Amino acid sequence: MKAKFLTQLEHFFDPEHKKTKHYANELKTVLGKLKKKERELAEALEQTTDQELAKLYQTEFEIIRIQRKKGLDILQAIRKDRQQNR
Partner 1 sequence: MQKLFLILGIPLLSIGFWLSHEFKGIAAGVAIFLFGMLSLEQGFKAFTGGTLERILQKTTDTRIKSLGFGIVATTLMQSSSLVSIITISFLSAGLLDLASGIGIIFGANLGTSTGAWLIAGFGLKVDIAAYALPMLVFGILFIFQTRKKLKGVGFILTGLGFLFLGIDYMKDNFERIKDTIDLVEFAMPGIKGLLIYTAVGIAATVVMQSSHATMVLIITALAAQQITYENALALAVGSNIGTTITAIIGAFGANIDGKRLAWAHLIFNFFTGIVTLLFIPYFVVSVDWISDKIGINPSDYTLKLAVFHTLFNFAGIALLFPFIGYMVVFLQRFIKERKISIFMPKYLNSSAVEFPETMNESIRLETLHLYDNAIYVILRTFGLSRRDLQDNGQLLHTLMNQENPAEYDIENAYEKRIKGIYSAIIAFISRASFSPEHTPTAKLYWLRDANRHIVEAIKNTKHLQNNWLHFATSRYRYARDEYHKIAYQIALLIKQIDEFMKNIEADELPFVSLDALKTKIEEDDQLITRSIETLIRENKITPETGSSLINDSAYMFSIKTNLVKAAETLFLHNTHHLEPEHNLALNEAEIKTVVETLNP
Q: Is 74 in the site for partner 1 (CB under 8 A)?
A: yes
Q: Is 50 in the site for partner 1 (CB under 8 A)?
A: no
Of 25 and 84, nearer to partner 1 (C-beta) is 25
Q: What are the respective helix, strand and coil percentages of the chain, to the nearest 5?
A: 95, 0, 5
Q: Are 49 and 22 in contact (CB under 8 A)?
A: no
**Per-residue x/- mask for partner 1, residues 25 to 44, rule CB under 8 A?**
-xx-xx--xx--x-------
Of 10 and 62, nearer to partner 1 (C-beta) is 62
